[in-house]
């Protein structure tokens, strides 16, 4: 059977082109008219001995219609009606005749035959839904708007395959267009575009995009387009909405909004047909927006439970710019501080104030992982260089630079040290079942595998856990006793031989399995409070001669006091080790102590280096740098001499070799590294 919509899985995009051609005859200028329809392939020749005369006549109708021989098709159809009035093929013939009349610009007559087809065959949902679509198309062509709308409501999308659903959305878009409802027209186009199959949908997507652009021109006020973007931000046609908003808001003077839309477009839709135009407009806008090229924004928590950490980072930044050092030449650089708060919303508000109120050229911060992704996205949208101090990497962005000590980098470098310098080859991991723990463990695992090592065990625990016996037992073959039944039987035999009938502290070795320690080192990426509980648990469960690997959070007196002697020879990495007599780190430590009367940590050192990099670029330039020029200079950083080591830009990150620290005799010492 030939329908405008095919009910089987063999339906192809050619049907959509054919249906667009049919709609084009209505004279609506918004519908493409010059797309050549792809002729349906005629069915294969029937076996003469297996088909009746009636079936042969029906097959002939299909072949004639497929070859666009409309006059011959009509003659054959009318003959079929007379010869076989009760034929089972009558509904399909009525449908073909309706298509023929629609093709020959007789939509009202076509609608009559489509209605007959649905009446005569109402028991096959696939066929009925296909004919309903054809009927609605004919009614729309005949300007029977109410009838067309009623018919489309009868179409059950669940009974249609993907390609046919797309056509229904396009039909509904045309219907709402004729009713003068551009907002609803856009909704249908955006909804249909979301289910376009890839990659064979570029031509179809282009047709939807052209129609959408025409309808967007009719939408007033512009708030309607903003509402559509909020509703359909995941549509493949969202770039049309972004471009419309970006170009419409520009002349209205809505500061920042238009740039945000255009920046989002070029970030999220690099293949968009609007990409070049959006990039050009952004360049024009950014060149006109006022920027204080010697004002740097600082986005840190200044109060609340994280305020003390924000203050430490701020002190490092102030030291880099010589704020309290009267002997340092005035750099003429102004620092503006905004509170990042404790929520993503507060961080975004603080960032926006830095950009639109203070017009800073760049921002250092935030330092909390909560909200860093939102701030990074905003920085990218507005084209503002951002040096993040957070422990977690944000998605790679052109304007975002990772200046903090990420969990991923720490996991990579402690894995490399354990493999190359400690000689470990088989590893276990214990980590919290939360985002930072998962990211750290994945990075550690990837690095070990790349080096040729092996992860032989991995156990997680929920945040807030205080008893780690079960975790250690699972890692060491002590938890699943049934798997070691033979060993348990041997222990029972030994107890019988030694006439042991009651467990005591002196004979408990006759009751307890020995741990299976098939790993050389254990990676535990958690804070000193948790790590200080886990390490003694290994000794309590008789697991010995295992190396413990951690992250910079272990660089704390709390870790030593909690883990005590069990921390001996534990190893971790950090960006800064103040107890050194060498170079820049020594000078920084002395200056920090004399200024703030306390010893710096990696928190202050990382912030210091971020400030020092910006200060060096701005003061060494012979002109006032734009934000994009400053971004380009940041990308050129190579072996910059910082207090945390030589710093180089790599794929969005300020990379440095971390310091390896180990515990010896209850103290932290810098470890020697071998490759």
Is the pLDDT confidence value at 61 over 80? yes
Tokens found for residue 15: 């049907």
Give the residue range(s) of CATH 3.40.50.2300 domains in the chain.
290-405+581-643, 407-478+515-574
Residue 280 is predicted with a pLDDT of 83
Please report which helix (H) or strand (E) contains residue 256, including its range: none
Is the pLDDT confidence value at 396 over 70? no
Residue 671 is predicted with a pLDDT of 81
Q: Per residue in 423-433, pLDDT tens?
A: 999 999 999 99
CATH number attached to the domain at 290-405+581-643? 3.40.50.2300
Bin 253: left if φ > 0, else alpha if -120 < ψ < 50, else beta: left
Terminal-to-terminal C-alpha distance of the chain: 73
- H-type alpha helices, 273-388: 275-288, 307-320, 344-352, 372-382
Long-range contacts of 319-322 (CB under 8 A, 24+ apart): 319/588, 319/591, 319/592, 319/595, 319/604, 319/608, 319/611, 320/607, 320/608, 320/609, 320/610, 320/611, 320/612, 320/615, 321/611, 321/615
Is the pLDDT confidence value at 14 over 90? no
When pLDDT is averaged across residues 443-451 and rounded to a whole number, the result is 96
Residue 223 is predicted with a pLDDT of 85
Residue 499 is predicted with a pLDDT of 75
Q: Per residue in 649-662, pLDDT tens?
A: 998 899 999 999 99
Is the pLDDT confidence value at 528 over 80? yes
Give the residue range(s) of CATH 1.25.40.10 domains in the chain.
1-168
Whole-number Cα distances in Å, 185 to 169, 452, 651: 9, 57, 42
Residue 163 is predicted with a pLDDT of 80
Give the CATH fold of the 1-168 domain. 1.25.40
Q: Mean pLDDT score of the chain, rounded to an integer?
A: 84
Task: Determine the Cα angle at 386 with ends 654 and 401, to 5°.
Answer: 20
Tokens found for residue 458: 């991995």
Q: How many CB atoms lie within 10 A of CB 179?
A: 14
Residue 144 is predicted with a pLDDT of 92
Tokens found for residue 470: 């079960």
Residue tagged 């200024």 (tokens)? 595
Tokens found for residue 281: 């407009």
Q: Per residue in 271-320, pLDDT tens?
A: 888 988 888 887 776 666 678 999 999 999 998 889 999 999 999 999 99
Superfamily of domain 407-478+515-574: Response regulator (3.40.50.2300)
Is residue 550 within 8 A of residue 532, CB to CB? The reply is: no
pLDDT band at 481 (very low <50, low <70, confident <90, very high): low
pLDDT band at 253 (very low <50, low <70, confident <90, very high): very low
Tokens found for residue 524: 């535990």
Report the range of poorest mean pLDDT among 152-156, 496-500, 526-530, 602-606.
496-500
Is residue 648 within 8 A of residue 654, CB to CB? The reply is: yes
Residue 589 is predicted with a pLDDT of 92
Is residue 427 within 8 A of residue 523, CB to CB? The reply is: yes
Question: HEC profile for 48-106?
Answer: CCCCCHHHHHHHHHHHHHHCCCHHHHHHHHHHHHHHCCCCCCHHHHHHHHHHHHHHCCC
């Amino acid at each position: 059977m030939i329908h405008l919509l095919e009910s089987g899985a063999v339906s192809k995009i050619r049907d959509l082109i054919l249906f667009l051609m049919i709609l084009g005859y209505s004279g609506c200028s918004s519908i493409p008219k010059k797309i050549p329809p792809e002729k349906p392939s005629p069915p294969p020749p029937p076996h003469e001995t297996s088909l009746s005369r009636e079936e042969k006549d029906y097959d002939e109708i299909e072949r004639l219609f497929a070859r666009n021989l409309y006059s011959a098709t009509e003659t054959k159809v009318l003959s079929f009606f007379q010869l076989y009035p009760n034929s089972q093929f009558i509904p399909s013939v009525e449908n073909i005749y309706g298509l023929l009349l629609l093709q020959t610009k007789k939509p009202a007559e076509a609608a009559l035959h489509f209605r007959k087809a649905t009446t005569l065959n109402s028991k096959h949902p696939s066929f009925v839904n296909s004919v309903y679509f054809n009927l609605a198309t004919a009614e729309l062509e005949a300007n029977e708007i109410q009838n067309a709308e009623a018919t489309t409501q009868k179409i059950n999308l669940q009974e249609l395959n993907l390609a046919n659903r797309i056509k229904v959305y396009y039909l509904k878009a045309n219907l709402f267009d004729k009713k003068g409802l551009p907002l609803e027209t856009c909704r249908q186009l955006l909804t249909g575009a979301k289910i376009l199959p890839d990659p064979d949908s570029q031509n179809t997507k282009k047709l939807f995009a052209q129609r959408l652009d025409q309808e967007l021109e009719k939408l007033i006020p512009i708030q309607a387009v903003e509402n559509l973007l909020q509703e359909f931000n995941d549509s493949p046609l969202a770039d049309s909405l972004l471009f419309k908003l970006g170009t419409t808001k520009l002349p209205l003077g809505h500061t920042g909004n238009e740039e945000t839309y255009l920046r989002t477009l070029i970030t999220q839709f690099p293949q968009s047909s609007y990409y070049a135009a959006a990039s050009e407009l952004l360049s024009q806008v950014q060149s006109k927006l006022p920027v204080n090229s010697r004002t740097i924004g600082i986005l840190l928590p200044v109060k609340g439970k994280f305020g003390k950490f924000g203050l430490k980072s701020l002190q490092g930044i102030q030291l880099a710019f010589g704020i309290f050092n009267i002997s340092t030449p005035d750099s003429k650089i102004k620092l503006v501080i905004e509170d990042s708060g404790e929520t993503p919303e507060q961080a975004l508000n603080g960032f926006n104030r830095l950009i639109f109120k203070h017009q800073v050229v760049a921002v250092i911060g935030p330092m909390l992982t909560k909200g860093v992704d939102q701030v990074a996205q905003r920085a990218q949208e507005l084209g503002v260089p951002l040096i993040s101090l957070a422990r977690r990497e944000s998605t790679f962005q052109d304007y975002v630079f990772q200046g903090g000590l990420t969990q991923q980098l720490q996991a990579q470098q402690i894995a490399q040290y354990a493999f190359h310098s400690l000689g470990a080859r088989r590893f276990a991991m214990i980590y919290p079942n939360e985002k930072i723990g998962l990211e750290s463990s994945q990075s550690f695992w990837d690095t070990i595998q790349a080096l040729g090592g092996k992860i032989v065990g991995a156990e997680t625990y929920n945040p807030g856990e205080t008893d780690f016996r079960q975790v250690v037992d699972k890692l060491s073959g002590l938890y699943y006793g049934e798997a070691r039944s033979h060993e348990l039987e041997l222990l029972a035999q030994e107890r019988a031989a030694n006439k042991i009938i009651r467990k005591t502290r002196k004979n408990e070795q006759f009751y307890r399995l020995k741990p299976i320690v098939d790993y050389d080192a254990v990676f535990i990426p958690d804070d000193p409070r948790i790590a200080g509980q886990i390490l003694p648990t290994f000794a309590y469960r008789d697991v010995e001669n295992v190396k413990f690997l951690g992250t910079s959070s272990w660089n704390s007196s709390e870790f030593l006091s909690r883990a005590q002697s069990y921390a001996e020879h534990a190893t971790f990495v950090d960006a800064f080790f103040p107890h050194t007599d060498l170079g820049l780190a020594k000078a920084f430590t002395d200056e920090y102590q004399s200024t703030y009367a306390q010893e710096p940590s990696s928190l202050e050192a990382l912030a210091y280096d971020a400030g020092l990099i910006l200060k060096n670029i701005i003061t060494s330039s012979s002109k006032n740098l734009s934000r994009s020029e400053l971004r380009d200079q940041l990308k050129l950083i190579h072996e910059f001499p910082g207090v945390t080591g030589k710093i180089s830009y790599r794929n969005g990150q300020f990379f440095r070799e971390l310091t390896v620290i180990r515990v010896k005799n209850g103290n932290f010492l810098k470890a020697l590294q071998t490759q």
